[in-house]
Amino acid sequence: MQTANSLPPVVPAKTNGLAITSLVLGILSPFCLFFVTGIPAVICGIVGMNQVARSGGTQKGRGQALAGAILGGVGTLATPMLAILAGIMLPALGAAREKARTVQCMSNLRQIGVACIVYANENGNRLPPDLSSLSSCGVAAPVLTCTSDPQKAGAQPGYSSYQYFGRGMTLSAVKNPSLTVLACERGGNHRNAVNILFADSHVETLRGAVTPPLMEQADGTMTLGAVPSQGVRPRPATR
């Protein structure tokens, strides 16, 4: 039996639903969904704080609503910054990947050049009739294809990304090995550049050309001519 001086029972305050929603959306915002959950988190947080303030103590959760609104704001602001960073980094990453592929292609040609010399030493100073013959010198099929070659997918067995000019030649007949082209890319594999193998097994990357400007000499050997955009023969690169 309740007496005249007894106090009414205390009803515990309930956590505001919008405050909880704001906190959950705010936590998701900086890590995965950004402005998709960030903007709703801010709105729910502001409305939730207003409802708690007007509830007369029957609701709680102002801290959760505030935290959700702050996290949502951080996630919303992070979106344009990430877009700017992506715009800066993606071209750089693409250029770095292409640079790595160009270096790998040069390595392939160096291996081919060394294998041609080994083949000649074992076959009466005569160069191999084709690049497939270098398998006897330990050159595997992947070495004969450039990683940037779009035609390598679905190519027939024995396909090579490189054009070979040593058929029927002997090493002793090559008068200027450092100027005589032994093999080169078929073209279009790299961005405005092509890799070229010379008879002394050094490799150059020729800039400003999709296909190498080759010149056939009187003895049947190939040399490198002038690049139209450069007008002069590039200086040989160091091996």
Q: What is the mean pLDDT of residues 206-222?
A: 78
Q: Which of 104, 232, 39, 80 has its CA nearest to residue 224?
A: 232
Q: Which of 103-117, 167-181, 209-223 has the highest mean pLDDT?
A: 103-117
Supply the pLDDT for residue 33: 62
* Region of poorest pLDDT, from 53-62, 65-74, 147-156: 147-156
pLDDT band at 128 (very low <50, low <70, confident <90, very high): very high
Report domain extents, the chain: 14-85, 100-224
Condensed to tens digits (0 to 9), the pLDDT of residues 134-192 reads 998 989 988 999 988 888 776 788 889 999 999 888 888 888 888 999 999 987 788 77
Amino acid letter for position 149: D
Share of the chain above pLDDT 70, in %: 86
Token readout for 20 is 């909880």
Q: What is the pTM of this model?
A: 0.60
